Chain A
């Protein structure tokens, strides 16, 4: 069994809770995480743009990226890499089982939660 599984999963919502092509924020401990529902699957990034803290969960999604609604900085959905200027954001793994959308809790999130 993989390490990640031992850390557990946090169910954040049902698949129907996030409209296709959009994101929604969720609080995990003291952290805000943006959960994205796209044609190619589910993704999660920290919900704060490193530039000015814009809510990425309100951003426009393309196939592989999200654009911050404040100043159009873009980040890769899979890894949080900065596709325009500046720093990357943390990416989290999403696992969908049946109707449930789960966040895989990375170590730091685990402590926070």
Chain B
């Protein structure tokens, strides 16, 4: 009989974590992972997400199918272990099969706790535990069910959030006087209320359910005092109980969970237990972070690696409750507390201090400073002024973080390990550090902090990452991740979810660009997030008037266009008519209210001279007229401008095409330039002739104009996707590196994909000046003077609503 290898009983987060910890330590060890459910290990914590997103349960799978095959992990799904022989480390499966192993790990997790309420056995009463429960909720929602959720703790609110996402009216019934009493104090719990109301969730506090009513099928709940709540579906989510029966039957010592020592050993020598089924020093941990710590120690124990010990974990969690970010660390209440709250955001930040030492924190809505506070609480650091400490944490930079502060929660990497990877391990870049330490390779939310630490270590001074929203210290990468994950379609969605733009508002245009780029111009446009130039499609001048620059492709115009421009300039009193450096004509000093009429009279498309967008393509006359011309500069310039017209970019893009190396169109100092040389075209990028002067780098030398247009378009799209807001191409090119850019835009596969995304984005572009006929608001261009200004004097009736008394 095969008595080799380790059996992991239970395919939840704990089983998977142990499996990974074992494989990491021993590549050859025989591992058998036994999953009671018919699927591979998945992230149960995120169960409500598949209800919200409508994705398949497989979206939650922790590792893809190949992972197990590649690592030679034997996985048995849909198999129940009926009995454990602790002495011989043998398992008997339901059905009778018996297998022996060298050691057994119990990761049997927990089951929903069903309170002793009469009627819980009725049809229409379910727990919220597996994908099948999501299916039941979806089906009920389709029938317009009213849903009651019993339990207002973490799990209950998870369930309610998922149910509410299906459009059902939901009532959360909670026994206690506040929600999530184990993690939140009453102030923070109250802050959740508006978010819940916005989702259509009603809360009944201090309501003990006495009975589930209905004849065979649940029709509602009855509370004390004979109060009734009608509901078609009842979701019970009051807590969990450790699955210990396998251990108990095998004669192992159990209490609330399977008892384990500091090596994660049970009372049987060959059996360990990890996760929600285990009880360590009187504590059963129900959060993810401790499970990872336990799994590492258990792996060492199973393999006989000495020196490892589990000494308990600080109870803490980073999660989303009702769509609001929450970090809860240690104690929620104590003898000394500092709180800052903002009901508008909402945000609630609290630091609990006991005997002058950090003991707990709650960060709701605004989770800045998690790493710093976590470290302070973990080390019971001294705190003299809690309020000041709380404020400091919000703006803590990488430099101020202690070496012991955990940066990557997914993989448990602290700042000291990152620094060591650089000093001892010879890593130079953030990418190398992340590859070596695995920091940032999980959810990715700590990447900016990793980069900050690497920059600090490299340069001495703190090199700030480019924050899109400096107030909230959010980067473009973080926000892009969030927009993609949550499917945000408008700036206000992101604002509501992340707080972006709510402090100073100056990052709203950057966010507007980001949303439009990610949604390929099929986003929900919100003009209030745009700079005034992009609200009225003209460039504001120092006196509050605007300038109008119509598009002249390649700088080529006609007598008819010139006549119309001249007429409009006179009719609307342009203070100046000026030829621009980009070979077009600017009407300066136009009143905002006249803009639609000016555009109508001119009858030319917008030149986007006011926007972060593709501007003009300057050309020389090339082979059309010039006796030195080698390439048809006008034709290529006009083609480029037509192809790119109307696309917004991280910063303005000025281009030029010169028909010979004499370079009359100054293409070598443009963001994108093309220069005809004997028998070919040079494509150049990253030139500047403004505050600083930079000669554009030669990206490629290409045979014909069609290729130039194609490669330049791919480059433009790559920049659109990866440029930071306001980052001109002449900054972008050196930041990314010319070689890297070449490798991407000249790669046939990546190039084709970029081109495809470019076409999708371009297909949704329209001329903004057509808003002269279809304004986004009747007063898009007007003030209020023409409105209903009328005097109401005197006021004879009582104080108006909302007046101070």
Contact = CB atoms under 8 A, between A and B. Distances in A.
Which of B509, B529, B530, B788 has its CB near the most chain A CB atoms (within 10 A)? B788
B783 A24 contact: yes
A8 B509 CA distance: 38
Given A17-B787, A24-B783, A26-B784, A70 B506 contact: no
A95 B791 CA distance: 14
B784 A24 contact: yes
Contact of A58 (B503, B532, B801, B802): B532
Nearest to B528: A21
Contacts of A10: 789, 791-792
Contact of A22 (B503, B509, B535, B778): B535
A72 B508 CA distance: 13
Interface of B: 344-345, 501-506, 508-509, 526-532, 535, 540, 542-544, 776-780, 782-785, 787-795, 798-805
A2 B779 contact: no
A11 B805 CA distance: 21
A13 B782 CA distance: 12
A19 B528 contact: yes
B544 A54 contact: yes
17 contacts: A6-B794, A6-B795, A8-B791, A11-B792, A17-B784, A18-B784, A19-B777, A20-B528, A22-B528, A25-B785, A26-B783, A40-B344, A52-B542, A53-B543, A67-B505, A72-B506, A102-B800
A49 B506 CA distance: 17
A20 B795 CA distance: 28
**Chain B contact surface mostly:** loop
A12 B795 contact: no
Given A6-B795, A55-B544, A12 B532 contact: no
A53 B794 CA distance: 33
B791 A60 contact: no
A53 B783 CA distance: 17
B506 A25 contact: no
A64 to B, nearest CB: 8
A51 to B, nearest CB: 11
A95 B800 CA distance: 8
B544 A58 contact: yes
Nearest to A33: B784
A6 B793 CA distance: 9
B588 to A, nearest CB: 16
A38 B798 CA distance: 26
Contacts of A62: 501-506, 508
B727 to A, nearest CB: 18
- Of B506, B508, B544, chain A has the most CB atoms within 10 Å of the CB of B544
A88 interface: no
Contacts of A78: none
Nearest to B536: A58
Given A24-B779, A27-B789, 18 more contacts: A2-B803, A5-B795, A6-B795, A8-B794, A9-B795, A10-B792, A14-B787, A19-B527, A19-B776, A22-B528, A25-B784, A25-B785, A26-B785, A60-B528, A60-B532, A62-B505, A69-B531, A72-B506
B803 A61 contact: no
A90 interface: no
Contacts of A9: 792, 795, 800
B542 A96 contact: no
B623 to A, nearest CB: 44
From B502, B526, B793, B804, name the one whose CB has the most chain A CB atoms within 10 angstroms.
B793
Contacts of B527: 19, 21-22
Nearest to A95: B800
B792 A102 contact: yes
Contacts of A95: 800-803
Contacts of A40: 344
B15 to A, nearest CB: 46
A60 B532 CA distance: 8
Nearest to B496: A39
Contact of B508 (A8, A12, A60, A83): A60
A21 B287 CA distance: 41
A2 B795 CA distance: 11
Given A17-B784, A40-B344, A69-B540, A2 B505 contact: no
Contacts of A70: 540, 542
A59 interface: yes
B777 A97 contact: no
Closest 6 CB pairs of A and B: A21-B528, A62-B505, A26-B784, A58-B532, A8-B793, A13-B787
B502 A63 contact: yes
Contact of B792 (A8, A13, A25): A8
A52 B544 CA distance: 10
A74 interface: yes
A65 B785 contact: no
Q: Which of A19, A55, A60 has the most CB of B within 10 A?
A: A60
Nearest to B526: A21
A50 to B, nearest CB: 15
A17 B783 CA distance: 9
A38 B59 CA distance: 39
Nearest to A14: B788
